[in-house]
Every structure is written in C-alpha cells, then in structure tokens.
C-alpha cells in the first residue's frame, strides 16, 4: 500500500511547482498555501491516520467479541432445544 505524501510534502510540491521568477515570494506562498489547506482540511472533518488506526483496532476487537458472543448464544440455544 502506498503511503500518501504528508502535509509538508504537499505544500513543498505546490510551492516548488511555481515559476522560478517568484522564489522571493516562496515563503509567503508556503504560509498561505499551508493556511488554506489547513482550513480546508478542518472543514472536511478529517481524522489523522493515528486516530483512524486506533478506531480500526477498536472495531476489530468489537467484531471479535461479537463473534464470540454469537457463538455462545448459539451454543446456549442449541442446549435449550426440546
């Protein structure tokens, strides 16, 4: 699975793609691009990879627990059949 570029890499790629004649403005542009992207990401309600991984682990444990409980219920139901 490919790792997506991190936020800083994206900002650098955008600013490096600019024409060489405006390198004097690069720092200001980096700041503005970073601010605009941060604002956009905040509005999108994105979660970090770490938060996603934690929730994925919780979900996996929950699934395992559910499967175990389903097996117990099935075993109890089979014992109580007339």
pLDDT digits (tens, 9 = 90+) for 19-74: 766 666 777 877 888 888 888 888 888 888 899 999 999 999 999 999 999 999 99
Sign of CA dihedral 5, 15, 8, 47: negative
pLDDT reported for residue 72: 94
Q: How many CB atoms lie within 10 A of CB 24?
A: 8
Between helices 7-16 and 26-43, what is the axis angle to 10°?
A: 140
Phi, psi of 71 (to 5 degrees): -65, -40
Are the C-beta atoms of residues 37 and 11 closer than 8 Å to each other? yes
Distance CA 68, CA 18 (A): 57
Report field, pTM of the whole predicted structure over 0.75: no
């Amino acid at each position: 699975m490919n790792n997506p570029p991190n936020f800083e890499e994206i900002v650098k790629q955008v600013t490096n793609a600019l024409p060489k004649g405006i390198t004097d403005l690069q720092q200001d542009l980096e700041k503005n691009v970073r601010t605009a992207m941060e604002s956009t990401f905040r509005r999108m309600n994105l979660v970090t990879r770490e938060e996603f991984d934690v929730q994925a682990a919780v979900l996996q444990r929950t699934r395992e627990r559910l499967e175990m409980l389903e097996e117990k219920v099935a075993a109890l139901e089979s014992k109580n059949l007339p």
